[in-house]
Every structure is written in structure tokens, then in C-alpha cells.
A = this chain, B = another copy of it.
Amino acid sequence: MGVSHDSPAAEPPKTNGANGVKKSKLPTHPLGPLTGDEISRSSRLVVQSWPAGTEFRFKSIKLREPPKTELIPYLEAERAGKELPTIDRLSDVVYYLKNTDKLHEAIVDLTKDTVSSNKLMGPFLHANGDGDEIMAVERVMLADPGVQAEVAKLQLPEGSVLVADPWIYGSDGFTSEDGKFYDDKRIMQCYLYMRDPANSSEPDSCHYAFPLPISPVVDTVTMKVIRIDIVATGLDEKVKPLEPWQPVPPNEYIPEAHELRTDLKPLRVVQPEGASFAVDKFAEMGDRIRWQKWDLKVGFNQREGMVLYDVAYDGRPLFYRLSLSDMAIPYGDPRHPFHRKQAFDLGDAGAGIMANNLKLGCDCLGSIYYMSGVVTDADGQPVSMPNVVCVHEQDSGLLWKHTNYRTDRACVVRNRELVLQTILTVSNYEYILAFIFNTAGDMTYEVRATGILSTQPVDLSLTKVPHPFGTVVHPGVLAGYHQHFFSLRVDPMLDGRGNQVVYDDAVPLPRDPVLNPHGVGYTVTRTPITVSGGYDLDSSKGRQFKIINPSSRNPVNGAAVGYKIHVPPFQPILADAESYHHRRAEFADRSVYVTAHRDGELFAGGEYTNQSRGGTGVRSWASRGDELPEKGDPVVWVQFGINHIPRIEDFPVMPMEMIKVVFRPNNFFDKNPALDVPPSTQEANGSVGLNEAMEGCNLGGKNGELSGACAHR
């Protein structure tokens, strides 16, 4: 299954050229994200290509990035300060004919003001959900008389307010004879909750503490409830008749529900001489950042959110393109309808359109620069997304130190980092995503998982009974086991094109009377990845994946210059290989995939993840067995994740769980690249000693009250 690129478009577009369309100032850079004007123009050109009166539901409008063969010469010319080639500006437009399941992909040529291609997509392909739709599904479902009749059986307290989390339906390949069950049409599964009945006027009451056993399914074309599932609330798959709801206490995360600590003193990060980074626009909607020899372009789109392009250090190219390509979150409860719960938050929703408007002093501390983006609404009009990326510096402890014990002289350099952070809210859950750069040439991709567990009801009588599929986090509330998989797409350009991916293993030498008589020797073997495929870590071999440029040699030791990737180990997807979870999450089984670059292969779970059936995505591309020559064009997909066995401490909101992927220079420089970072001094950073103030600070009393003297320096 896949996008039927070769099939003739069922409803051919009428390209209207420049007919009536206002031509806006073109951004000058081919990597500049679409402007608001370009978004409107893209949708207008598509609309004009159809008969008058046709109605549309736009799903996404994004820059169609130029082919690598066109863009590389452009970037090279840009770096060399030479004349820039001309590259046509294109957009990808994904839309439905309104109130139908007719999904279309159009390519709009913004340079020529034409729709250059338009295709009706094949079966089993469904576009992402959007906010309007999710709100509408919730409304429709709650107003449905059938749903209301089921809810009535719960005999909820007077004034109860219902809330629903509509979920992407997922796939199981199952169609029932009576037609009640199917997964080929675009439908949504609603998980039903209510607000705290004692506080139902509070719109931010945590409804996840009040899950209800009713789960209606809504058709997104007809916007009607097609089925009402009742979920199992015991230890097995048996579904019981609905019974009157039994009271449980609330469990709120909003601060006014708590007596807040008063002993956490303010901590400020101050840069009296300003920040060390500089920002300028490389395009109307694109920022170029320069900091401590790093130089990179930041883009933003509806699907991936923050994307980095053309990342260089000290004038040497490192990465052509970097982004989180997708995530998959399969749940482990095998019971209907939970067995279909698997979110692809980028493909099903979109990291750009779900990005938070970040707030000074809350999401970001210190001296902050904010970037904004623009995405598309259902009418094809631009939606401005302010402050979706924050940029700031942070101190991160010591970077290097040595004390010569003979002279007692210490040399110390602190680790300064530049952080580009974006935060997604995907219904119940949040992801805090950041690219972090340091002064030693390291780049880190950091994920913090937080937000609220997607909960489900469990019999109150089972509150203290271990559950096979989750953790009871509140009376009557089960948080199901689930896995989080992330796929970071890395398109490298270390010292230019012609890169290779290798892995190095540390292996013991055999005992040998001459060379290894004491059995302590070991060496390192290098294995170049010469064919596309999936590859695994092996901690017994200390396996390290590296990107190298075989044509660029270290001036001192002659090694191919490289970057190593600290790939965090993870538990591969537990759903079996025949399951739809496994088939769809094309990246959740291997730590590293390496593919031969092809334009347009950007998303590890395929272009359309909503109710996808597998067969498209990085596993499929890797399985082509493409040759990866020594000086080839590999793309590295780094997978990592968390098996989230919920703790009760993760409720009602979860303290973040952090994972990092670190890229470190490996024989790329000729020595420690941070030798020229000035030592940190007390004069410059104004650190303060507390010892004098703490003296006489007596903490009497067995309950440990802090005396006033201790609170101030």
C-alpha cells in the first residue's frame, strides 16, 4: 500500500496560472518555510483548479523542499558567496473535498503560479486530524442521543460535565460481517471522561481522574456516531453491563488545588552583556542562528515543527537536514478498543500545529529569543503560531578541567549550551523537544516526555489489585502500559557530501603467548554499512555508530573525520511482527536505520500514518537493500524511546522523563575544540559564597523548620 504516484489523477486539476492571484514577494531562500501569503496562494490556486462551488477541507500546506541535487549547489554557492542558482518555489497541499473521504495531494508551483500536480489518493490513506475536527467530533458525540442513553445508565451526579478525548482510530485490519466494525474508513474513537462532579464548573479540572467505560466511534465524513463501545474494566477482556458510577475523589494538577511550597527561592539567569548568539532572517519565515562557531538555519512546518537545515561548525558543513521525523506510541492493553491505541503524533496530528506558544520565564528561563511559525487552517488560510521555538543559552556545569598536581594549577572551562526548544501538546500529553549545541562541537537532541497519562476506567474494587495491563494511578483509574518511539532523521553532510555510516565494536583479543599473554588486550573493529537496512546496538561490544566522511581526513592522525552518535538503548516494540502496531510503526524495531537518500522520504512512519497499514516508511525504504557506497548519500534514522510502565507519581501530571541523543565529533577536529573557551571567573559570573551567611543558621526543631537566618544570604 502506498501513495499511488503513478496512477492518473482521478479528478484532474484545472491549473489557472496567474489568473486573479496576487503575486507576493517571493522569499529569497529555497529553504524558507512558506509564508502566510504563500499558504493562501497555494490553497487559492488549488480552489481555482476545481469547478466553482467545490468545497474543501485543507489538511496541510507545506514547503515542498527542493531536490537535494538542486539545493546542494545552492548551499555551496551561498557558503562561497557566489551567485545563487534559481530554484522554483513549490508547496505540498493535502486536502479533502469537504464532507467526503476524497483525499488529494497537490503540488503548487508558487514561482509559476500553477498547480503542477493533483492526485486523488488511493484507499487506506487518511490525512491527519486537526483541532477543529477534534473539537467537532467531541461536540457531535456528546450530543448523540445513543451516547446520552448509555451515559444515563451511569447515573452520574447532577451537573456532571462530560469531556472526551477523540483518538485516531488506529488499525486492526478487522471488518465485521454486520458492518459495525471496520478500519478502512476515516473514523475516530472517543474516550469519555468527566470533570470532577464536585467542581464541574472548573474547565481545567483533570478529567483523566474520571474515566468512563463508554467509548463512542465517530465517522469523520458524516460526523455521526457509528458505534458505541463499552470497555472492559476488569482484569480480562470481559465487558460488564454499565453500572451506576461510584464516587471517587478528584486528582488535580492546577496549582490552586494545592498548598504550594513557599521555600523555593527565585533563581534568575542573567546575561548583563546580552546573549552570545545572533539571529537574522534567511527568509521571511526562517531564522539563521550563529553562536560559538555554529551556524544553522531553522525552519518550521506543520508536520515536523522545528527543522534544522545546513548546520555548520566553523565554516565546515555538518548536517544537511535534521528533524524529528515521527513518533509512535503503541499501547499494550490487548482488549478492544484499546488494542488499536497507537498514536503517531507527528503524522496523525503534527508537531508544528500542536506547538505551544512559549512563555517567558515559564517555558524558557534567561535571555530568550522566540521564533514564530505559520501553519494552515481547514480553509487553507494561514494560522500564525507565535513563539513556537525559544532560543537561549544555559550553563551546564563543567566542560573540562585539569589540575596539575605538581603546581596545583587548575584550568577549568564551563559548558555553555545553546538550546532551541519547542513543546507539543498532543491531547493529553506533551513533548518538550530541543536541539542543544555546546562549545565543544557536540549537538544533542533532547526529548522530555511529560503531560497526562491517557487513562481508562478500572473497577473500583480492583484499585489495590495488580493489573496485567497497567498501573492503577487513582481509585478507579488505570494508566495502561505503552511504549514511546521516536525517530530522529539525520541527513548528514560532514565536510560536504560523500558520507558513510559505520559502526565500531570493541572486541577482546584472543589470548596469545606473544601479543596477549595476560588476556587483557582489546581492539576496535570497524564495520561500514554498505547496504541500507536496520541495525542494532550491542552493549556487549560497546557498539558506536558513526557518520564519517572518507574523503576528509584528520590532519593529525589521518582518520576519516566523523561524528559519533550516542544512541540510547531502548526496548523494541513488543507488539508482535504480524500485528498492525508493528507493521505501522515502521521504525519501532531497530535502533538505527540507514537508507540511501531519496527526496521526499522524510517521515519514518510514512507520509500518512492515520489508520495506516504499514508498507511505507523507513523499514520499507531500508528493505530495498540500496547500496551505500563509501562516498554515498546515506540518511540515518536514530530510534529511541521509553517503555512507559506508569508510576503513580506520573499522575495527575507526569514529571518529565528525559532521553538524549548526542552527536560528538570523532576525529573531526585536530584537538579539543573547546580549548579556546575562556575560563569562567567569579568576576564575570558574580557567583556568591554562602558559608558566612549559613553560619549561625541553626535548624532547631525536629520538624526541621528553617530559621529566617538561613533563608537569606
**Protomer copies:** 2
Task: Provide the A420-442 mask, 1 if CB < 8 A to any CB of B, else 0.
Answer: 00010101101010000001111
Q: Flag if B269 contacts A265 (CB, 8 Å).
A: no
CA distance A235 to B96 in the complex (A): 67
Task: Provide the A635-677 mask, 1 if CB < 8 A to any CB of B, else 0.
Answer: 0000000010101111111111000000011111111111111
Whether A655 touches B442, Cβ cut-off 8 Å, given contacts A397-B432, A580-B518, is yes
Q: Flag if B713 contacts A367 (CB, 8 Å).
A: yes
Task: Provide the A554-595 mask, 1 if CB < 8 A to any CB of B, else 0.
Answer: 101111000010000111101110111110000000000000
Closest Cβ neighbor of A237 among chain B residues: B515
Q: Is A223 an interface residue (CB 8 A)?
A: no
Q: Which residues of B contact A677 (CB under 8 A)?
A: 260-261, 264
Q: Which residues of B contact A481 (CB under 8 A)?
A: 506, 522-524
Query: Whole-angstrom distance from the CB of A219 to the nearest CB of chain B?
Result: 22
Whether A523 touches B332, Cβ cut-off 8 Å, given contacts A295-B704, A464-B557, A556-B648, is yes
Q: Which residues of B contact A712 (CB under 8 A)?
A: 273-274
Q: Flag if B423 contacts A713 (CB, 8 Å).
A: no
Whether A361 touches B687, Cβ cut-off 8 Å, given contacts A506-B643, A671-B251, is yes
Q: Flag if B236 contacts A515 (CB, 8 Å).
A: yes
Q: Flag if A667 contacts B680 (CB, 8 Å).
A: no
CA distance A204 to B410 in the complex (A): 10
Number of interface residues of A (CB under 8 A): 204
Q: Flag if A264 contacts B416 (CB, 8 Å).
A: yes
- Give the residues from 372 to 394 in chain A that come closer than 8 angstroms, CB to CB, to chain B: 393-394
Whether A576 touches B519, Cβ cut-off 8 Å, given contacts A412-B362, A681-B362, is yes
Q: Is A22 an interface residue (CB 8 A)?
A: no
User: Which of B362, B415, B680 makes the CB contact (< 8 A) with A656?
Assistant: B415
Q: Is A370 an interface residue (CB 8 A)?
A: yes
Q: Is A85 an interface residue (CB 8 A)?
A: no
Whether A571 touches B542, Cβ cut-off 8 Å, given contacts A364-B687, A368-B687, A579-B519, is yes
Query: Whole-angstrom distance from the CB of A176 to the nearest CB of chain B?
Result: 13
Most central of A265, A267, A401 by chain B CB within 10 Å: A267
Whether A402 touches B425, Cβ cut-off 8 Å, given contacts A370-B691, A520-B339, is yes
Q: Flag if A401 contacts B451 (CB, 8 Å).
A: yes
CA distance A405 to B333 in the complex (A): 26
